[in-house]
Amino acid sequence: MVEMETIVSLCKRRGFIFPSSEIYGGFNSCWDYGPLGVELKNNVKRAWWKAVVQMRDDMVGLDGSILMHPKVWEASGHVANFSDPMVDCRACKLRFRADQVDPNEKCVETKGPHDLTESRQFNMMFRTHVGPVEDGAAVAYLRPETAQAIFVNFSNVQNTMRKKLPFGVAQIGKAFRNEITPGNFTFRTREFEQMEIEFFVKPGTDDEWHQQWIDARRQWYLDLGMKKENLQLREHEQDELAHYARRCVDIEYSFPIGWSELEGIANRTDFDLKQHTEFSGKDLTWFDPETNEHVMPCVIEPSAGADRATLAFLVDAYDEEVVRDRQRVVLRLHKDLAPNKVAVLPLLRNRPEIVDLARKIAGDLRPSMACMYDDTASIGKLYRRQDEIGTLYCVTVDVDSLTDHAVTIRERDSMEQVRVPVEAVVRTLKEKILG
């Protein structure tokens, strides 16, 4: 298993993920996705959207706003319950979760135990003020989850799209939680991106749909190349279930920090729509034309993190091997996820005919796939650089290319090389990568 430090270092060195505001010393477990990271994360989100929206007849999408009516968070229970009991040390000013204080830990100020306050409830929602007046009436929250935008739009979506139960709504977007202990790279951060589904079903069919979604979501990670032995399902114990949840199963990944949640799939019963019906006074039931009855739909919620999924795919793809006495690092990313699909490399950068041909091939590939041109080092170094960022194929233009009008295509994992006529490069690579 690769160490987290190795992944952090690769991400920094190769332009996947940088510490946020790094020139000012970084900021509070915030991270910025660099040129390759944004491509990788976009590919993860695109693969998710394709699987859960594009490929299904019973799903549609939504993009809700981050700021919502404050009543939403009263109805959802976040104002009252989304908090942890916290204690502060009067001496060193550190804050701890009341149930997680280590009695053996020495305070840097008292040199003995921390001088702790009584515990207080600390709400994890970020508060802000909307408009020019900073009074109580203008208080709003940055959403702590994307799910609520789907619940409050239930009728809008159902009516405009003429959907019958069962159907679901998918959404990708930022959410914010003022976590006390963020950390472990991008695993736990205060600002993060969710990929959430709320799937509405008739009461009585919820158990069956729950199981279907658990299976479908696990399969999604496997289809994108994640190793089976690095995934497991964990059933929540009765005492860790939210009071409204009937059952919850986590898909866990074997991260360098140990088995941890990648995605949670919960049966939330009819709690959410019931709450919003009560708080808004609007009827959020669905009229069943077959039975002539109004039913309050039950909700199955597969909730995944785009940042966690991206991190897990990076960890899973990381590989080191020795080839002809030389160590190489290779990211064996699935072809749909690799941030860069092809690199075109001229063997000699001081031969204008070779450079021109390489640049032309790169230009021909760009409309179909992410393609990089690179002539900044020797060919051996260029290959290693591309292996480290998971590029699927390298196209090398050499001196012979000028007479035989062919180039070498090298495959990332096997490092096998084939000679292909210049005019067949785009077709060959499209078949391999998009086909």
What is the Cα–Cα distance from 360 to 355, expressed in whole angstroms? 9
Per CB under 5 A, the segment of 5-13, 81-89, 196-204, 298-306 that binds Zn ion is: 81-89
Q: At its nearest, how many Å lie between Zn ion and the CB of residue 127?
A: 26
Total Cβ atoms within 10 A of residue 107: 16
The string of DSSP letters for 136-191 reads: GGGEEEB-S-SHHHHHHTHHHHHHHHT--SSEEEEEEEEEE---SS-BTTTTB-SE
- Nearest residue (CB) to Zn ion, 89 versus 273: 89
92 binds Zn ion (CB under 5 A): yes
Size of site (CB under 5 A) for Zn ion: 5
Q: Which residues of 369-380 are buried (b: 16+ CB within 10 A; e: fewer)?
A: bbbbbbbeeebe
Among 107, 216, 355, 420, binds Zn ion (CB under 5 A): 107
Q: Which CB sits closer to Zn ion, 102 or 135?
A: 102
Alpha-carbon distance of 298 to 77, in angstroms, equals 18
* 329 near Zn ion (CB under 5 A): no
Using the contact rule CB under 5 A, the part of the chain among 41-49, 109-117, 353-361, 405-413 near Zn ion is 109-117
Compute the least distance from the CB of residue 241 to Zn ion, in Å. Answer: 35
What is the smallest separation between the CB atom of 109 and Zn ion, expressed in angstroms?
A: 5
Nearer to Zn ion, 102 or 229 (CB): 102
Residue of 14, 41, 114, 190 interacting with Zn ion (CB under 5 A)? 114
Query: Minimum distance from CB of 87 to Zn ion (Å)?
Result: 10
Torsion angle defined by CA atoms of residues 34, 40, 43 and 48, in that order, rounded to the nearest 10 degrees = -110
Nearer to Zn ion, 114 or 217 (CB): 114
Least distance in angstroms from the C-beta of 96 to Zn ion = 9
Residue 89 binds to Zn ion (criterion: CB under 5 A):
yes
Q: Which two tokens stand for residue 364?
A: 């021909």
Kindly state the smallest distance separating residue 86's Cβ from Zn ion, in Å.
Answer: 14
Minimum distance from CB of 226 to Zn ion (Å)? Answer: 42
Half-sphere exposure of 200 (CA within 13 A, CB side): 27
Which CB sits closer to Zn ion, 92 or 424? Answer: 92
SS3 content of the chain, % helix, strand, coil (to 5): 35, 30, 35
- Cα separation, 115 vs 109, in Å, equals 9
Stretch that binds Zn ion, among 82-90, 190-198, 228-236, 368-376 (CB under 5 A): 82-90
Q: Considering only the stretches 52-60, 88-96, 298-306, 391-399, report the one whose residues sit in contact with Zn ion under the rule CB under 5 A.
A: 88-96
Nearest to Zn ion of 109, 364 (CB atom): 109
Q: Which is nearer to Zn ion, 4 or 101 (CB)?
A: 101
- Spatial CA neighbour of 245 closest among 210, 214, 276, 213: 210
| Distance of closest approach, residue 123 Cβ to Zn ion, in angstroms | 23
Q: Report whether the peptide linkage leading into residue 346 is cis, meaning its omega lies within 30 degrees of zero.
A: no
Distance CA 432, CA 134 (A): 57
Strand order in the sheet with 83-88: 95-97, 83-88, 120-123
CB of 106 to Zn ion, least distance (A): 9
Nearer to Zn ion, 114 or 177 (CB): 114
Minimal distance, residue 117 CB to Zn ion, in Å: 11
Quick one: 112 or 435, whose CB is closer to Zn ion?
112
Distance CA 274, CA 270 (A): 6
Kindly state the smallest distance separating residue 122's Cβ from Zn ion, in Å. Answer: 17
| 87 contributes a contact to Zn ion by CB under 5 A | no
Is residue 217 a contact point for Zn ion (CB under 5 A)?
no
Checking DSSP bridges between strand 167-176 and strand 139-141, what pairing results, if any? Answer: unpaired
Assess 91 for contact with Zn ion (CB under 5 A): yes
Burial annotation 201-221 (CB, 10 A radius, 16+ → b, else e): bbeeebeebbeebbeebbebb
Asked if residues 102 and 89 have their Cβ atoms less than 8 Å apart, the reply is no
**Which of 48, 53, 58, 120 is closest to 84 using CA atoms?**
120
Query: Judged by CB under 5 A, does residue 216 bind Zn ion?
Result: no
Residue among 31, 305, 33, 316 nearest 194 (CA): 305
Q: Which range in 24-32, 70-78, 114-122, 160-168 contacts Zn ion by CB under 5 A? A: 114-122
Binding positions for Zn ion, rule: CB under 5 A: 89, 91-92, 107, 114
